[in-house]
Amino acid sequence: MTYSSVLIQFLNGLAGASTLFLVAAGLSLIFGVTRIINFAHGSLYMLGMYVAVWAAEPLGFWWSVPIAALAVAVFGAGVEIALLRRIYGAPELLQLLATFALVLIVKDFTLWQWGPEDMLGPRAPGFSGAVEIAGRPFPEYELFLIGFGPLVLGALWLLLTRTRWGTLVRAATQDREMAGALGVNQKWLFTGVFALGALLAGLGGALQIPREPATLLIDLSVVSDAFVVVVVGGLGSIGGAFVAALLIAEIKAFCIGLGFSQLTLVVEFIVMAVVLVLRPWGLLGRVPAPARGAGGAEPPLEAPSPAAIGALLALCGALALVPALSAGYTLVLLTDVLVFALFAVSLHFIMGPAGLHSFGHAAYFGLGAYGAGLLLVRGGLPMELSLLLGPLAGGLGAVLFGWFCVRLSGVYLAMLTLAFAQIAWSVVFQWDAFTGGSNGLIGIWPAPWLSSKTAYYYVTLALSAGGVALLWRALYSPFGYALRAGRDSPLRADAIGIDVRGLQWAAFSLAGLFAGVAGALYAFSKGSISPESLSVPRSVDGLVMVLLGGIQTLTGPLWGAALFTWLQDAVARGIDYWRAVIGGVVLLLVLAFPQGLTGFLRRRSAA
């Protein structure tokens, strides 16, 4: 690589860093004050892109940028007022879920408004040419972006340190209750911060349109990039976001410049891993203060009574009788339910008893599915062996990712699991030659003796019920008790010699393995796999199932999975914009029961 190409790649990286910084800074700012991780931040960026492309047509690029940024800011303020205000007191997990519901709704809104095709933006008038740098042409617009990022950093710094509003924001970031007791109206402060964060995201998106087309896939890829930046830079630190954005964008630029664009993700992953090991709270971040007035310990999970075990066995027996009574679609649907029941139970295993709130559990489901599919298609293994060995891919993925994840907790953990899932998705999505890329793999059918719906149903029933039984058995072993001790009081558990992290890692890996079993079963039931099987929405499906059923109950995930799978099937067959419908239902549930369904039911029964 010559000197000049190094320079050019470096400049490319700087340009990319600017938009990345805008998004991450907004995310960080919003989190600092409201303590909400805005999963929909990438969606705001996407909206900024689409609005800008749309407005540039009649008005020209330079008008479209501020218009898009303002439109997104207004939208953000509306979301804050209508939605977030109602859930500031709700458990973290529900807040995350609510912002994720927004992702689904914004995506479908964009699809409805602008259609599924990518939309190309105009060039930036005045910056459409190229200048010569080190003997090579370099786009003027990139130079503009290079200057713009630090400009925004400077403006934000002035805003936060030189204005009364900024002082109040910093005060509220540290202790919002005290700020309130001093007469600061948090409502409008929060709305303002959210609008500013949205403005930055919208601005980032709008400025990106001369560089790349607006697509419906950009939301999750941007938000997971922003998560990586924020995790690396330190949550709540604007300066950290800037440094980390530079770092990540440079890495990307050099990987692409060297012709290894597939490596981008791997290198990004390695950087994040190194930072997390050396500085768990990011380059410029600080150890988060323990939450004030955290909720009480969760009630213990009671071991199922003999009667309950009997009922569950009877349920299995009843399920085994179903093929005798009906066939066709019922069996297909029930097979799905069984697969997702195992998936949900494996997620519940780490979320409930281990207290690890994963937003990327589908990664292991998908890895299991691809593991099985690839062993069959590329490895030429018999179907039976593929089904049994494929899940190991999920388990191994969980071993690798879990090692990092268990070092964090709370929202950091949620962000990291999501980022890992997005990385896994991107690898599968981009690696055409091996995984089939966006088309996925086809021809993954069961062996002939299992190919009837009934036979495959029995296989699924056996493996799912077996998996669920094993996971539940583990919960009531010393391992499970130690795991819960680690969740409820990590320090005390540590003190009595429990290796909390090690246990959590083991739990994470085990859960990944069983999610992998579910994934492998799923692959053979459909005959094909697509990257969707490890996409972030699939992870959220799992979360909804667990929360719907109730995280503090043992069998909740089963009922949640059944209800959700049935609902999705019914809705997806009838409605084009089913994502928005699901998002809307989730939002309504969160708004109606901000303490969760089980919390609600428990209060009802206590009253």
Partner 1 sequence: MLELRALSAGYGRAQILFELSLEAKPGEVVVLLGRNGAGKSTTLKTVMGLLRTRAGEVRFDGQRIDRLPPYRIARLGLGYVPEDRRIFTDLSVMENLEVGRQEPRAGAPHWTPERLFALFPNLGRMPERLGGRMSGGEQQMLTIARTLMGNPRAVLLDEPSEGLAPVIVDQMAQTILALKKEGLCVLLCEQNLRFAHLVGDRAYVVEKGHVRYAGTMAELEKNDAVREQYLSV
Binding residues for partner 1, per CB under 8 A? 164, 167-168, 170-171, 173-175, 177-186, 296
Distance from the Cα of residue 29 to its chain's centroid: 19
Smaller CB distance to partner 1: residue 180 or 537?
A: 180
Smaller CB distance to partner 1: residue 181 or 278?
A: 181
Q: Closest approach of Cβ 183 to partner 1, in Å?
A: 4
DSSP codes of every residue in 436-478:
-GGG-EE-----GGG-SHHHHHHHHHHHHHHHHHHHHHHHTSH
Q: Which residues contact 577 (CB under 8 A, 6 or more apart)?
A: 108, 111, 112
Q: Closest approach of Cβ 322 to partner 1, in Å?
A: 46
Q: Closest approach of Cβ 82 to partner 1, in Å?
A: 19
Smaller CB distance to partner 1: residue 181 or 325?
A: 181
Q: Closest approach of Cβ 167 to partner 1, in Å?
A: 5
**Half-sphere exposure (Cβ direction) of 232: Cα atoms closer than 13 Å:** 27
Q: Please tell me the distance from the alpha carbon of residue 366 to that of residue 531, in angstroms, as a whole number.
A: 8
Smaller CB distance to partner 1: residue 168 or 493?
A: 168
Q: Please tell me the distance from the alpha carbon of residue 585 to that of residue 597, in angstroms, as a whole number.
A: 13
Smaller CB distance to partner 1: residue 285 or 395?
A: 285
DSSP codes of every residue in 172-214:
HHH-HHHHHHTT--HHHHHHHHHHHHHHHHHHHHHHHTTTS-B
Q: Closest approach of Cβ 160 to partner 1, in Å?
A: 11
Q: Closest approach of Cβ 190 to partner 1, in Å?
A: 12
Beta bridge partners of 136: 133
Q: Which residues contact 135 (CB under 8 A, 6 or more apart)?
A: 4
Smaller CB distance to partner 1: residue 168 or 231?
A: 168
Smaller CB distance to partner 1: residue 233 or 542?
A: 233
H-state helical runs in 60-185: 61-82, 92-114, 140-162, 164-174, 176-181
Alpha-carbon distances of 371 from 287, 428, 470, 531, rounded to whole Å: 38, 11, 22, 13
Q: Closest approach of Cβ 188 to partner 1, in Å?
A: 10
Smaller CB distance to partner 1: residue 78 or 166?
A: 166
- If we measure between CA atoms, which residue out of 595, 532, 509 comes closest to residue 97? 595
**Residue for token pair 């990590």:** 490
Q: Please tell me the distance from the alpha carbon of residue 66 to that of residue 73, in angstroms, as a whole number.
A: 10
Q: Closest approach of Cβ 486 to partner 1, in Å?
A: 24
**Residue for token pair 């995280």:** 551
Q: Please tell me the distance from the alpha carbon of residue 373 to that of residue 529, in angstroms, as a whole number.
A: 8
Q: Please tell me the distance from the alpha carbon of residue 67 to that of residue 323, in angstroms, as a whole number.
A: 59
- If we measure between CA atoms, which residue out of 521, 575, 200, 175 comes closest to residue 368? 521
Smaller CB distance to partner 1: residue 91 or 304?
A: 91
**Residue for token pair 């069996």:** 331
Smaller CB distance to partner 1: residue 148 or 281?
A: 281
Smaller CB distance to partner 1: residue 177 or 384?
A: 177
Q: Closest approach of Cβ 412 to partner 1, in Å?
A: 20
Distance from the Cα of residue 134 to its chain's centroid: 41
Q: Closest approach of Cβ 187 to partner 1, in Å?
A: 8
Q: Closest approach of Cβ 607 to partner 1, in Å?
A: 13
Please give the structure tokens belonging to residue 133: 């740098």
Whether the CB-CB separation of 75 and 247 falls below 8 Å is answered with no
